[in-house]
Amino acid sequence: MELSAIQAVGAIGAPERKAETAAGAEPPDFAKWLEQQVQVADREIRTADREVQKLAVGESDNLHQVMLSLERARLSLDLIVQVRNRLLEAYQDIQRMQV
Amino acid sequence: MSGYLDIFDVSGGGMRLERVRLETAALNIANAHTTRGPDGTLFQPLRVVARAPAPSFEHALLEGASLSGASSYQVEASGVQPRLVYDPGHPHADAQGYVAMPGVNPLVEMTQIMTAVRAYEANVKAIEAARAMAQRALDIGSR
Amino acid sequence: MVTGLDSITTQLTTAALDALLLRHRVIASNIANQGVEGYQPLRVDFEKHLEPVRQALAAGRTDEQLRGLLQEAKAATEITPAPGDGIVRLDEEMAELARNTLHYQALLTALGKLGALKRLAITGSQS
């Protein structure tokens, strides 16, 4: 699954980082957080994929582990997809503003 | 014939065979004391015979054919000899006072019924399982 | 990595589903012919041919190698007479039926959820 398109969204958070560091406080790094979430989602998806493979070849010890790993993968992917959608909406709002 | 629907045919054939066994046993029990049938003769107990065809099923099953031994069953006279019962008052008693009763053994017939019912229900379970599997396949893609 | 609809995971799952469907035919046949003289109860041999695939998965082999091993496992799948005295035992068949049906449904559910994951990544929405 191509996650690079979503990863590019992380760059949008960069200008905020510069502005907040100027104030001297320790800023919550949105871009870094988003990158981490992408890594998490990638990991969860790979795990879920492996679990399904094990189920197919008869190596799965319990069914709920497979189903839960699929749910975790869906949730972590859902998170970054939702964030991406909101960011895109915000970006489009900004584009429409009269300067 | 739709290949994926074949699995229902096998179980359907099994159900038909067991139903016939059930009906035959019930008929025998009902006529256990029928000394004169509509055609004037002693009731002849019936049995269901189903034999597997000589070649094995393996290859046919692999090719997806629907096979069931139930398609080759026969209802035939069981050939059991009539029982002679001493009952001089019976309208059909002979000169010595004996009546020829159909050779029906109610115990055997009852056992037949129980076996047939159990096997019938097992076939129903097989159909339900096939339906559940197909339903799950149909649900793929919908949330 | 999950890429496209023909990922090795999808192929493994589909192969298993095919074998389970065949097994259902065999179980249904055993049940339907339980009272037929001369009928030999049958079984499907599939899982034991998967051992090379299992080992390859654990060893982290490439998708190409896995595909080849899977093909061999599929080709080796066969219907065989059940071990034992050649009499159909309904209780055993019912247990096999329950087990087989559950596994089929579990694999289909898992495949469906993987597909939903892909759809989410592609379309950016749930539907």
Average pLDDT score over residue span C65-87: 92
Enumerate helices (H) and strands (E) in chain A, giving the number of each: 4, 0
Provide the number of structural domains found in chain C: 1
pLDDT at B45: 94
Which of C22, C27, C109 is closest, CB to CB, to B126?
Answer: C27
pLDDT at B63: 45
Give pLDDT tens digits for A7-39.
Answer: 555 555 555 545 545 555 567 788 899 999 999
The least confident of A11-15, C11-15, C68-72 is: A11-15
| Contact state of C104 with B13 under an 8 Å Cβ cutoff | no
pLDDT at A14: 52
Residue A3's pLDDT band, with cuts at 50, 70 and 90, is low
| 3-class DSSP assignment, residue A38 | helix
State whether residue A75 sits within 8 Å of chain C by CB. Answer: no
Q: In this structure, is residue B33 part of a structural domain?
A: yes
Percent of chain A having pLDDT more than 70?
Answer: 74
Average pLDDT over chain A reads 82
A52, pLDDT greater than 90: yes
Give pLDDT tens digits for B45-86.
Answer: 999 999 887 655 555 554 444 455 456 789 999 999 999 999
Q: In this structure, is residue B131 part of a structural domain?
A: yes
State whether residue C36 sits within 8 Å of chain A by CB. Answer: no
DSSP letters along B73-138, please?
EEEEE--PPPEEEE-TTSTT--TTSEEEE----HHHHHHHHHHHHHHHHHHHHHHHHHHHHHHHHH
Q: Distance from A23 to chain C by nearest Cα, in Å?
A: 36
C64, pLDDT greater than 80: yes
Q: In this structure, is residue B100 part of a structural domain?
A: no
Provide the number of structural domains found in chain B: 1
Residue-number span of the structural domain to which C106 is assigned: 8-123
Which of A1, A57, A70 is closest, CB to CB, to C57?
Answer: A57
For C106, name the nearest residue in chain A, comparing CA atoms only.
A63
pLDDT at B1: 47
State whether residue C107 sits within 8 Å of chain A by CB. Answer: yes
Count interface pairs B-C at CB distance under 8 A. 122
Give pLDDT tens digits for C101-114.
Answer: 999 999 999 999 99
Q: Name the more confident of C69 and C120.
A: C69
Find the distance separating the first CA and the last CA of chain B, reported in whole Å: 31
Q: In this structure, is residue B91 part of a structural domain?
A: no
* B interface residues, C as partner, C-beta within 8 Å: 6-7, 10-11, 13-15, 17-18, 21, 49-52, 56-58, 61-62, 64, 67-70, 73, 115-116, 118-119, 122-123, 125-126, 129-130, 132-133, 136-137, 139-141, 143
For C109, name the nearest residue in chain A, comparing CA atoms only.
A67
- Burial bucket for residue C30 (CB in 10 Å: 0-12, 13-18, 19+): buried
Q: In this structure, is residue C2 part of a structural domain?
A: no
Q: In this structure, is residue B120 part of a structural domain?
A: yes
pLDDT tens digits in sequence order for chain B, 143 residues long: 467 888 898 999 999 999 999 999 999 999 999 988 888 889 999 999 998 876 555 555 544 444 554 567 899 999 999 999 999 999 988 899 999 999 999 999 999 999 999 999 999 999 999 999 999 998 887 75
Residue-number span of the structural domain to which B43 is assigned: 3-80+107-138
- Per the CB < 8 A criterion, the answer to whether B104 and B32 are in contact is yes
pTM of the model as a whole: 0.83
pLDDT at A57: 94
Q: Distance from A10 to chain C by nearest Cα, in Å?
A: 16
pLDDT at B62: 47
Whole-complex ipTM? 0.88
pLDDT at C118: 86
Which of C90, C98, C109 is closest, CB to CB, to B136?
Answer: C109
| Contact state of C1 with A49 under an 8 Å Cβ cutoff | yes
Q: In this structure, is residue B97 part of a structural domain?
A: no
Average pLDDT over chain C reads 90
Which of B57, B73, B125 is closest, CB to CB, to C42?
Answer: B57
Q: Which residue has the tokens 């949330």?
A: B143
| Chains sharing 3 or more CB pairs under 8 A with chain B | C
Residue A44's pLDDT band, with cuts at 50, 70 and 90, is very high
Q: In this structure, is residue B49 part of a structural domain?
A: yes
State whether residue A38 sits within 8 Å of chain C by CB. Answer: no
Q: In this structure, is residue B74 part of a structural domain?
A: yes
